[in-house]
A = this chain, B = another copy of it.
């Protein structure tokens, strides 16, 4: 090997060095591992720092993380030394998948130090100047960052993505909200065990069983979509004027949250007077299929070509068959049909740890980068 090749990095190495260094808070957990998996080959970002609880700190990531994904642990992550939460970080872009018990304070800390904190945790989602972002749906909410940065007196900020169920629901109905407005929604979820983290659901609790309760989940699904589908105004976020009722359930599925939805249009009576329900359903079908957003226009690396995939078969979507649609970044929708009580109903499915968590945060960060909003 000549000296030249030693001094001059290969184009691949150059590309690697030029990628933006990022840190991952809560890197050993189930969503943390998805971050590692999805960022390992990312064209823009490079895993530079991994942060976890004191129990893991100091260890190599490969030893600290009990790797549970089907793909093998990326070598570039295996040797990283795990940092302690609170340590100074070199990365200006920080992904967070911390447990809610520590996320609030830790994310605030790193934002105050000037980092862009892109969080999957619930703590700041409903804060009055924090975007609850789905890039396809509400990228205008990024305008809240000016207010947020001003509050903090610096360049750091926090951006959040919705709860794993909410993101499936909000994406599936966003085109409907845009087309006709939504007055009322009943959402009923059947959620995968990975949503509770690796140790979250004991096998003894869920084999041959359903648990019709997930702590705090219904409150999130009933409130977050109203913020997401609302608008940012000079006076702050203005919720979409819809009412939501959510029943959330845990089922023996590994990945993929299935959501049954019934909804009424905001102008239901008017619409129904002028159009047969079949025509309205055709409109909705077209709106779902045609739905595109900023990530598609910008060609963001993690953007699904088609954010909503409409499935024709009467018994789809199904989590095992459809959760990986468009690399797990699309929401699949099926069974669009009239509702005998409201107007229409449908079934939506989202991969809860990809589009519903790590993938959502990464897409958020990509949007921030494309919009030149990263510090």
A residues near B (Cβ < 8 Å) are 30, 68-70, 184-186, 188, 190, 193-194, 198-213, 222, 243-245, 247, 249, 251-254, 258, 260, 262, 314-321, 324, 334-335, 339-342, 345, 347
Contact = CB atoms under 8 A, between A and B. Distances in A.
Contacts of A335: 212-213
A204 B204 contact: no
Contact of A207 (B186, B208, B316): B208
A213 B315 contact: yes
Given A68-B204, A247-B262, 11 more contacts: A70-B321, A186-B188, A188-B188, A193-B204, A203-B203, A207-B208, A207-B253, A209-B320, A209-B321, A213-B314, A249-B260
Given A199-B199, A262-B245, A340-B243, A190 B210 contact: yes
Nearest to A259: B212
Nearest to A311: B72
**What is the oligomeric copy number?**
4
Nearest to A320: B209
18 contacts: A68-B321, A70-B324, A193-B204, A201-B202, A201-B204, A202-B203, A207-B253, A208-B254, A210-B319, A211-B315, A212-B258, A212-B317, A243-B340, A243-B341, A244-B340, A245-B341, A245-B342, A247-B260
Q: Which 8 A-B pairs have the closest CB atoms?
A: A188-B188, A247-B260, A213-B315, A245-B341, A209-B320, A203-B203, A193-B203, A208-B208
A258 to B, nearest CB: 5
A207 B190 contact: no
A314 B69 CA distance: 17
Contacts of A201: 202-204
Q: Which of A69, A262, A340 counts the most chain B CB atoms within 10 A?
A: A340
Contacts of A345: 245, 247
B260 A222 contact: no
A22 to B, nearest CB: 26
B244 A341 contact: yes
A342 B341 CA distance: 12
A63 to B, nearest CB: 12
B251 A315 contact: no
A318 B209 contact: yes
A317 B198 CA distance: 19
Q: Which of A210, A318, A335 counts the most chain B CB atoms within 10 A?
A: A210
A247 B202 CA distance: 24
A113 to B, nearest CB: 34
Contact of A203 (B206, B315, B317): B206
Nearest to A261: B247
A258 B210 contact: yes
A252 B254 contact: no
Contact of A205 (B203, B212, B249): B203
A69 to B, nearest CB: 8
B251 A251 contact: yes
Contacts of A341: 184-186, 243-245
Contact of A222 (B222, B320, B340, B347): B340
B207 A340 contact: no
Contacts of A185: 341
Nearest to A317: B212
B202 A199 contact: yes
